[in-house]
Structure 1
Amino acid sequence: MSTDAEKKNGWIEARHGMPSEGDKAERTLDITERHIELFTEMSGDKNPLHTDREAAENSRFGGLIVQGGVTTGILNAVVAEDLPGPGSVFLSVDWKFSKPVYVGDTITGRVEILTVREDKPFCTIQTTVENQKGEVCVSGEAVTYTTPLPQ
């Protein structure tokens, strides 16, 4: 039988429990051409800026850039694995892409909990992806939902 406190806390069965405002997590990834190949195969995105080295090198970008889905994919990993953790998905995102990510870059995806609903497992998070130079490539806010999962 649930206690009154458990009835009011939507995070009781969340694997990582309820996060706190200010909690942070990050992951780092070295970007390779294989990331582009896999995303192209999965999505069908054959934009020459991602798939045609010569065209990309002769563009204003000066080289192959990875798809935005690859860049933001690291945020999916942080949210689903680290914070809020397993069972978490994005409900909404508001991202600004301010700098391209190139093959050979090392990106770091970071999330910070801005708000947490105690009665339901929802969080508003600040998200950023930076390259190895500390330049912000993607930034914005997102809302997540964390579903209870059996241990």
Structure 2
Amino acid sequence: MSEPKDGWKGVIKGKPANGQIATRSRTTKIEDIHSFTDMTGDRNPVHYNEELAKKTSFGKLIVQGGVTTGILNACVAEDLPGPGTVFLNTNLNFKKAVGVGETITGKVELTSVRDDKPICQMAVEITDSAGDICVEGTATTYTMPLDGL
């Protein structure tokens, strides 16, 4: 009988464990909106026109959803599972808009870690400084072995 394949061989931080959690926080800035627009072309008035934005259900100027969810990229690529990690899938539900100058915290929690391949399932969420959930969902990641590159 052959031994099971170690799919985590060569992964810099090694195989993570179910239940591990990583978090990161940052405060959004008006420059985030401009940078995201430079990358994507998203010039939605709720990101630029403060007078209009105040009249919406948001009641304020908000950052693009991609600015908000970008913190999850840093969580998985830097912290858990770590360097070499990319998203294979995300399923995100946007619950509350994030304004300029708000501090958000991204959290990833491993719910399943495969032994044969460096693939993880995780619960993800982003909260604001009041602890309100802004984004929640699930994700699947793949971690490339980077040792020896």
TM bucket (normalised to shorter chain) is over 0.9
Question: TM (normalized to structure 2)?
Answer: 0.95
Structure 1: which 4+ aligned runs deviate by more than 4 Å? none
Partner of 2:16: 19
| Counterpart Cα distance in 2 of 1:11 and 1:95 | 27
TM-superposition CA deviations, 1:91-149 (whole Å, max 9, x none):
00111000000111100000000000010000001100000000000000000000011
Question: TM (normalized to structure 1)?
Answer: 0.94
Q: Aligned match of 2:30 in 24, 33, 54?
A: 33
Partner of 2:82: 85
Question: What does 1:33-72 align with in structure 2 at a 5 Å threshold?
Answer: 33-72=30-69
Report deviation, 1:53.
1.5
| Counterpart Cα distance in 1 of 2:31 and 2:95 | 23
Partner secondary structure for residue 91 of structure 1: strand
| Counterpart Cα distance in 1 of 2:37 and 2:87 | 22
| Structure 1 unaligned blocks of 5 or more | none
Report deviation, 1:60.
1.8
How many residue pairs match? The answer is: 147
| Structure 2 unaligned blocks of 5 or more | none
Aligned AA (2:67): V
**Cα RMSD over matched residues?**
1.2
Q: Aligned match of 1:128 in 119, 122, 125?
A: 125
- Identity among equivalent pairs (%): 50
| Counterpart Cα distance in 2 of 1:150 and 1:118 | 18
